[in-house]
Amino acid sequence: MAVTTDTTLVAAEPAPIDVDLTSTALLIIDMQRDFMEPGGFGETLGNDVSQLARAVAPIAALLAAARGNGMTVIHTREGHLPDLSDAPPAKIERGAPSLRIGDPGPMGRVLIRGEAGHDIIPELYPVEGEIVIDKPGKGAFYATTLGADLKAREIDTLLVCGVTTEVCVNTTVREANDRGYRCIVIADGCASYFPEFHEMGLKMIKAQGGIFGWVTDSAVVIDAINNSESAVGTFNRIAAGASR
Ligand code: C5J
């Protein structure tokens, strides 16, 4: 059986983008309790974590559509090994937080793998078969298997959402752009502790003809997914023996 490609035109800024959903993955950045909930890393830095809650419902809706489509779904988590061997002193010592990375807090040791605060929030919890990338940096490609995972699945386009817009989302989009991926950033599926940084973070991506990528809303992408033939394309790829 021939492999079917299925492109769909997605409305976005700075221009519409033709997307083959069979070579597209949903990349959800750092929707962890440490950033989203009181007592975690984000709050220790003095941030109002309630600012991030607005991204949860749009991501949950997009995640449901992606799962329904059989799309590759990737979750990332920022955090460090318990012995802090992957945490540069320059990161640990930065600023004057109420608790530092590795200190015990209400959700376990701050930003440490395996602790409650490091986990993904229940609303967006990964299901079996989804990829979870543990990353020590802000970018999801640095010191991770993400590049190899995408290559193995022949992914060329990323739907990117998560927190925070100007830090880990932007860093990952820039890393991805330099590696040749087309990034479509989901505006309402991203959030920042600073609403003005959210706005500017999105502007930086789509400025200059889309210098780092495209920006659109979750409803646009959900509509594209739900009205595409890519479920058939996915079926054909599997039937043709292509790995996904
Ligand atoms: C931050 C992140 N803000 N996930 N991390 O330190 O954006």
What pLDDT does 235 receive?
Answer: 39
Q: Whose CA is nearest to atom 5 of ligand 1?
A: 168
Query: What is the mean pLDDT of the segment spanning 78-94?
Result: 97
pLDDT at residue 233 above 70? Answer: no
Q: Whose CA is nearest to atom 4 of ligand 1?
A: 168
Cα of 164 from ligand 1 centre, angstroms: 5
What pLDDT does 239 receive?
Answer: 41
pLDDT at residue 123 above 50? Answer: yes
- DSSP secondary-structure letter at 8? E
Cα of 167 from ligand 1 centre, angstroms: 5
Catalytic residues: 30, 135, 168
Residue with tokens 């200190």: 103
Query: What is the mean pLDDT of the segment spanning 112-135?
Result: 98
Q: Whose CA is nearest to atom 6 of ligand 1?
A: 167
Least-confidence region, from 81-90, 95-104, 220-229: 220-229
Cα of 191 from ligand 1 centre, angstroms: 11
Cα of 29 from ligand 1 centre, angstroms: 9
d(CA 19, CA 182): 9
d(CA 56, CA 181): 25
Select from 31, 168, 190 the residue to mutate for testing ligand 1; criterion: most ligand atoms less than 8 Å from CB: 168
Composition of the chain by helix, strand, coil, percent to 5? 40, 25, 35
DSSP 54-103: GGHHHHHHHHHHHHHHT-EEEEEEE-B-TT-TTS-HHHHTSS--SS-TTS
Q: Which atom, in ligand 1's list, is nearest to the CA of 78?
A: 4
Q: Which atom, in ligand 1's list, is nearest to the CA of 166?
A: 7
Enter the pTM of the model: 0.92
Least-confidence region, from 4-13, 36-45, 61-70: 4-13
Cα of 193 from ligand 1 centre, angstroms: 10
d(CA 211, CA 36): 29
Ligand 1 pocket by C-beta < 6 Å: which residues? Answer: 30, 35, 78, 138, 163-164, 167-168
Residue 5: pLDDT band (50, 70, 90) is low
pLDDT averaged over the chain?
Answer: 93
Residue 228: pLDDT band (50, 70, 90) is confident
What pLDDT does 242 receive?
Answer: 42
Q: Which atom, in ligand 1's list, is nearest to the CA of 193?
A: 3
Select from 78, 80, 101 the residue to mutate for testing ligand 1; criterion: most ligand atoms less than 8 Å from CB: 78
